[in-house]
């Protein structure tokens, strides 16, 4: 159980790292590795508790858009992560996002990277 949680945090942290490398001009942060670990932890918690509720509440929109509304949900999760990282403010960790489009692009990149990482790790 604990291994699965740590595994999830590490994968989320790695995916977050790759998002910051893909969007360096739009996503500024401080804190280095601490930012990635805290962000990975927050994303894991939000994906476990908030995202399922959001999927249930937005089910009609997901059906009407053939699943594309999931991208909006992922962008909201990404937005919540940024807000929570800034609210928690542990050890000079901050993050700044340049525009609303960055949340959507970041969520898409995060989802793709996370999907590829899971494929690589589960196929070994």
Q: pLDDT value at position 2?
A: 84
Percent of the chain with pLDDT over 70: 99
31: three-class secondary structure by DSSP: coil
* Arithmetic mean of pLDDT, 2-12: 89
With cut-offs at 50, 70 and 90, classify the pLDDT of residue 70: very high
Phi then psi dihedrals of residue 66, to 5 deg: 55, 40
For 98-115, the pLDDT digits (tens) are 999 999 999 999 999 989
For 51-62, the pLDDT digits (tens) are 999 999 999 999
With cut-offs at 50, 70 and 90, classify the pLDDT of residue 35: very high
């Amino acid at each position: 159980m604990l291994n699965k949680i740590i595994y999830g945090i590490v994968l989320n942290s790695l995916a977050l790292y790759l998002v910051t490398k893909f969007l360096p001009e739009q996503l500024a942060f401080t804190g280095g590795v601490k930012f990635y670990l805290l962000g990975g932890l927050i994303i894991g918690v939000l994906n476990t508790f908030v995202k399922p509720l959001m999927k249930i509440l937005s089910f009609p929109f997901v059906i009407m858009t053939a699943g594309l509304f999931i991208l909006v949900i992922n962008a909201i999760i990404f937005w919540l992560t940024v807000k929570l990282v800034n609210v928690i403010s542990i050890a000079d960790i901050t993050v700044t996002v340049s525009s609303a489009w960055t949340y959507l692009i970041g969520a898409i990149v995060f989802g793709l990277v996370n999907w590829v990482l899971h494929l690589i790790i589960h196929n070994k």
